[in-house]
Structure 1
C-alpha cells in the first residue's frame, strides 16, 4: 500500500492522465491553479468584471469603447476577447471564447461572429492556435463548426447532452466537445425523485463514458472534455478522459484530497461500438426523442443568453458613468 506521506493529491494524479481546464475567467484563480487551458462564457466574464485583478483591463476596454463610440454590445464583444487575451498569457494552451447564445440557431451569423472573434484576437497579437470558438451543439451550431474547422478555426461544441450531438460533432470534425455531466444528473435527479447517485451509476458520468467509448472505438480525434461537475466523485469517475473543465471550488477539493485516484477511462478500454451517421432529420428526431437533452439544451441557451444580456447591461452602466 502506498505510504500516505508519499501520495500526491488527487489533482496531481488527475493531471497525469487528463488535461485539466479551469472553468473560470478570473485571473487570480488561473494563476493559482495553473491549468493547461481556460474556458469562458458570459457568466465567467461577468465574474471577471468583479475581479480586482481585472480592474485595469476592464477600465481600459471601457474607455476605449467610449472614445470609439461603440455600443454596449460591441464593447461587450471586445471586452470578452480582452479577458481571453489576458488569459492566454497565463496558460500554455487554449482559451475558449463563446459565440453569442442568441445566434445558436443561425449558422451564417455564428460563422461571422466567430470570424470577428478570431480577427479581434489577431489584432491583439494572438493566433488562432491559442483559442477555441465555443458554439452551442445545435444542428446550426454544429454546421457552423464544420465551416470554421474547414477554415482552420478550431471549435469547442458546448451544451452537449446526448450521443446524437456527439456523433454529429464528430462528423463535422469539431476539435473539442464539452458534454455537461452535472446538468444531465440534475435532470435525472428531478425526474426520478432521488437525491443523488453513486459515481458509477451517475447518468452524467455514464453519458460521458459512452461518448468517450464511441469516439475511441472509431478513432475519432475530437477531444472529449467533461464539464459542469457537481462534485469530485463525478470527476474521479471520469479520470483519464481527454480533458476535464473544473471549477475553482472543486479544484480546491481535489488539491486537498490525498487518496489514490485510479484511471477510469483509457483508449485501450474501447468496446468497438460501431459508427453512426446522422443527417439533419435523424439528428432532430433523436434529439426530440431525448427529453433530457432537448430540455437542457434549450435551458442552457436561454441561461447563456440571460448572462450575456446581464453583461451588456453592466457594460451599459459602466459606459454611462463616464459619459
Structure 2
C-alpha cells in the first residue's frame, strides 16, 4: 500500500486545490479552496467558461460596476465549488472575502449569500463549508452561522491555541491549523531547521487534536498548509488533512510502512489543563498578543488572501467592462 492509502485508513484526505481536473486522481473525500488557489486555477483556459458564466450572472443581478464585480466573484467561487462537488463525495470549502475578517455581521451575510447561491445550483448546504478567518469576529460569526442557520464553517488561518479553543467552544464544524506556515515562522525566527515530531507546526496541531479529544469536542481538526510529506506523516491519525496535489503525488508514490501518530487513545495519555476563550474577548486577544507567531501569521494570511482576492476582483472588473 502507498503511504497515501495507509493514511486514508484513519484520516480523511482532503484535496487542497482549485484545479478540479487534478483532484479526481487522488480520490479525496473533500476539497478546500481559497482566493489564491482560485486565482491560480482561473488563469487556465479550460476554466474560462466558469468565468464567463460568473460575468453573465453578475450582469443579471445589478448594474453598478463595483457590485457586479462582487457578484461575479461570489459566483465564480460557487462555480468552482459546484464543479469540485461533481468529483468529491463529501464537502467543498468556500472562503468568505478576507476583507471581511474583522466584520462579524458582514461575514454572516456573505456566508448566507454564498449558501443561497449554492442552493440555486441545487447544492445542499450540508455539502458546503464556509471558510472564515479565525479572528475574534470570525469565530463569533461562525457561532451564529452554525447555531442559528445550520451553516457549517471551516475556521482557517488558525495558528494559535486560543483560536482553536474558542472555535471548539463556538461549536464550529471544522478548523484548519496551518502547519507549514507555523514552521516557516519558527525557521525564520530561530535560523534552525525542524524535522519530524520536532516541527513546531506538527507540535501545534498535535496539541490541538489531543486537547479536543480529551475534552470531547466534536469540532474536526484538519491539518493544512504542509511544506513536506514528513509533516503529513507525523500527523497520521488526525481527523482530516488537506493536502496539495504535489504532496498527494509524493504520498501516492511512497510505499514505506506508516505508523499512526495521533489517536483518541494516545490523546488521553497526558492530560492538558482546560481553558476557555470564546466568551472572554479580553483573554482571547491577550493570549493572541502574547503569541508573536500566531499574531503575525494571522495578519499576514489575511493580507495575502485579500491581495489575491483583489487581483481576481480586478480580472472580473476588466471582463465586466
> What TM-score comes out, normalization by structure 1 length?
0.94
- Alignment partners' CA distance in 1, 2:313 and 2:272: 45
CA contact (8 A) 2:15 2:243 kept: yes
Matched, 1:19 2:51: no
1:129 aligns to what? 126
2:69 aligns to what? 72
Which of 188, 191, 194 is 1:193 aligned to?
Answer: 191
Matched, 1:90 2:83: no
Which of 135, 147, 171 is 1:138 aligned to?
Answer: 135
Shift of 1:139: 0.4
- Alignment partners' CA distance in 1, 2:57 and 2:98: 25
Shift of 1:154: 0.7
Residue by residue, what CA displacement relative to the aligned partner does 1:292-319 show, whole Å, maximum 9, x if unpaired? Answer: 0000000000001001001101112222
Shift of 1:49: 1.0
SS of 2:258 mapped into structure 1: coil
- Alignment partners' CA distance in 1, 2:222 and 2:264: 14
1:41 aligns to what? 34
Shift of 1:103: 0.6
- Alignment partners' CA distance in 1, 2:26 and 2:319: 30
2:223 aligns to what? 226
1:4 aligns to what? none
CA contact (8 A) 1:145 1:155 kept: yes
- Alignment partners' CA distance in 1, 2:59 and 2:112: 24
- Alignment partners' CA distance in 1, 2:25 and 2:290: 43
SS of 1:71 mapped into structure 2: helix
C-alpha RMSD over aligned residues: 1.2
CA contact (8 A) 1:137 1:157 kept: yes
Shift of 1:47: 2.0
1:249 aligns to what? 246
Matched, 1:147 2:140: no
How many residue pairs get aligned? The number is 312
Counting only pairs closer than 5 Å after superposition, residues 1-323 of structure 1 correspond to structure 2 as 8-66=1-59, 68=61, 69=63, 71-150=68-147, 151-194=149-192, 196-270=193-267, 271-278=270-277, 279-320=280-321
CA contact (8 A) 1:159 1:300 kept: yes
Shift of 1:67: 5.2
CA contact (8 A) 1:28 1:53 kept: no
- Alignment partners' CA distance in 2, 1:157 and 1:275: 21
- Alignment partners' CA distance in 2, 1:144 and 1:63: 31
- Alignment partners' CA distance in 2, 1:251 and 1:297: 26
Question: Where does the alignment leave 5 or more consecutive residues of structure 1 unmatched?
Answer: 1-7
4+ residue segments displaced more than 6 Å: none
CA contact (8 A) 2:54 2:73 kept: no
CA contact (8 A) 1:218 1:273 kept: no
Question: Where does the alignment leave 5 or more consecutive residues of structure 2 unmatched?
Answer: none
